[in-house]
A and B are shown apart, each in its own frame.
Chain A
Amino acid sequence: MHSSLKTAAVALAALFVVAACGGGAGTGTPAASSAATGATSTKPKLELASYAYAIQTKGKLRVGAREDNVPFGVKNVATSKFEGFDVDIAREIAKEIFGNESDIDKFIEYVPVVSATRIPTLTESKADFVIATFTINDDRKKQIDFSDVYFNTGQKILVKKDNSTITKVTDLNGKRVCSAKGSTSEVNIRKEAPQAALELQDTYVPCLILLQQGRVDAVSTDETILFGLVKQDPNTKIVGSYFSAEPYGIGVKKNANNDRNGFVDLINRSLVAMIQDGRWAKIYKQWITPVSGDEKTTPDQR
C-alpha cells in the first residue's frame, strides 16, 4: 500500500509540473479565455489550454471501457448501454467536463477495450481515457499516464467450502495452487509461498474445474476475479487477506506533445470530489457490494 501511495504521489507531483507548464503557455491570451468561458456559461469553466476544454468544445468524451467484465464494465445486451462500476465512475468524470447533465451518455462515446488493447487504445488516441480494471504498474507507466487509485483490490485465495486447512497465504506451502500462466498472481504466489506447487492455466475457469475435481487445493488471483468464480460455483469460498496490492487507475495518453494538458489532473480532482461527497460510495454499493458483501466509502479502506 505504501508503495502505491508513493507512486501516486510522484505521479501527482509530475502532473503538477506539467499542468503548471500548460498554464504558462495559455496565459498569453486572457481575453480569448474570458470570451470562451462566457459563451459556455452552463458548462464548467475550464482552462483554455487544457485538453478537457478541447473535449468540451468537441462535445464528446471518448471512454475506453470493457464490455464483458462483471461488475466493472459490461455492455447490457438488452439496452446496448454500458454499465458497471468503472462506467459509472467515467460518467461522474464526464460531468466534470460537461456539467451535471441528466443524460450524460449523450456526451460519451464508449470505445470497447480488452486487456491487451488498453494501452494501444490510448497511444493511438482512440479514447481520451481508459477505465477498465487497469492495474497501475511501472512497466505500464513507461507507456501511459495513470490517474490516482480509484479502486483497490489484491490477491486472495479460493478454496472449496469444506476446506479448513488453508486460511492464509503461507498455508499454500506444500499445496497445489492454480493460477494464470505468466500473470502477476503467479509471481506473487512464488514469492509468498515458495513451497507451493503451481498449476498454470491460460484462464481461471480451467483452474476452477481443477479445484472442483480436487486436483488443486486452491486458486489464487485478484479478489475481483475470484468474485466471479464464487458466483459460478457456490461450493467455493474466498479466504485470507490481501497479499498483493492491485491498485486500479484510469489510463491517459502521455502528455508528450502538450496534447493532454491538465487532463490527469482534472480526472484526479473529479475522483477526490466523488469520494468526498459520497458518490463513490454509492457506486461501490451498487456494483461491488452484491458480490463482495462489504461497503466502502474510499478506495483506501481495507
Chain B
Amino acid sequence: MGIIGEFSELYLFPNGLFITIQLAITSLLGSLVLGTVIALFRIAPLVPLRWLGGGYVEFFRNTPLLVQLFFLYFATPYIGIYLGEPDTFGFRAAALGLTLYHAAYVAEIVRGGLLAVDKGQIEAARSLGLTYLGMLREVQLPQTFRAVIPPLGNIGIALVKNTSLAATIGVADLLFAGDIVESRTFRAEEAYAAVAILYLSLTIPLGILVNYLEKRMLVAR
C-alpha cells in the first residue's frame, strides 16, 4: 500500500490534542472541587466525616490509576453501572477515573493548607459570630487557596500527563494518535517525538500560568 509515501492522517494529532485538552480540563476542575470537599471532610468537626475523607484518600491514592481506569472501563457494566452510551463510555470512564484519583492528592494538599491557617484567626472569626461554614468561606479557604497554588500546579501538570493512560482504554487522545501513526508508518521516533512535544505544549504553559498566579497572590498578600 505504500503507507509512508501517502500518509494522510496527520489530522489525528490535532484531534487527539483536542481530546487530551478536554479530558485534562474536565478532570482538573472535577478533582479541584471533589478534592476540596474531601479535604473539608478530613478536618470536619464530625468524626464519621473525617473517616470518610480519610478512607477516600487512602483508597484512591494507594491503587494504581491504570487499575482504576480498567475497572471503570471494563468492570462497571458487570455490576450494573453504565457510565454512558458506547460512544461516550471511554471518555467518561477516563474523566471519572482521573478525577477520582487526583482528587485524593488535591485533598491532601488542601488539607495541609487548611491546617496551616493560624488557629487564632479561626477562633477570632467564630467569636465574632461567624458560623463554621461562614468562617470557612470568609477566612480559612481564601488563605488556603493562596498557599496551595504551587503544589496544586504540580498536580495539574501530573494530571495532564496522566491523561495519556486513557489511550489504553480506547480514548482517542494524543498518545492514541501517536500509536496509530507509529503503527501505520513504522516511524516510532517521529510519531512519539511529536506526541512528546505536543504534551510539552500543554504542560509548559500550565507551569508558567501557575508561577504567574503564585506571584500575583503573593503581592495580594
Contact = CB atoms under 8 A, between A and B. Distances in A.
Interface of A: 137-139, 176, 181-183, 187, 197, 199-202, 206, 209, 213, 215-216
Interface in B168-201: 168, 170, 172, 176, 179-184, 186
Contacts of A199: 86, 90, 170
B3 interface: yes
B179 A176 contact: no
Contacts of B74: 206, 209
A138 B87 contact: no
Contact of B86 (A137, A202, A216): A216
Contact of B183 (A183, A206, A216): A183
Interface of B: 1-4, 74, 77-78, 86-87, 89-90, 168, 170, 172, 176, 179-184, 186
A215 B87 CA distance: 9
Nearest to A183: B183
A139 B4 contact: yes
A182 B7 CA distance: 13
B87 A181 contact: no
Contacts of B183: 181-183
A42 B87 CA distance: 66
A215 B89 contact: yes
Contacts of A206: 74, 170
Given A182-B180, A199-B90, 15 more contacts: A139-B3, A139-B4, A176-B86, A176-B87, A181-B179, A181-B180, A182-B183, A182-B184, A197-B87, A199-B170, A200-B172, A200-B180, A202-B168, A206-B170, A216-B86
A192 B149 CA distance: 52
A137 B186 CA distance: 13
Contacts of B181: 182
Give chain A's interface secondary structure class.
mixed
A215 B1 contact: no
Contacts of A137: 1
Contacts of B89: 215
A136 to B, nearest CB: 12
A176 B89 CA distance: 13
Nearest to B186: A139
A264 B47 CA distance: 77
Nearest to A181: B179
B87 A200 contact: no
A200 B170 contact: yes
A206 B2 CA distance: 30
24 contacts: A138-B2, A139-B1, A139-B3, A139-B186, A176-B87, A181-B170, A181-B179, A181-B180, A181-B183, A182-B180, A182-B181, A182-B183, A183-B183, A187-B184, A199-B86, A200-B170, A200-B172, A201-B170, A202-B168, A209-B74, A213-B77, A213-B78, A215-B77, A215-B89
A201 B172 CA distance: 10
A200 B176 contact: yes
B9 to A, nearest CB: 10
Which one of A139, A176, A182, A201 has the highest number of Cβ atoms from chain B below 10 Å of its Cβ? Answer: A182
B184 to A, nearest CB: 6
Which one of A181, A187, A199, A201 has the highest number of Cβ atoms from chain B below 10 Å of its Cβ? Answer: A181
A3 B4 CA distance: 19
B200 to A, nearest CB: 23
Contacts of B168: 202
A206 B170 CA distance: 10
What 5 pairs between A and B have smallest CB-CB spacing? A182-B183, A182-B180, A215-B86, A213-B77, A176-B86
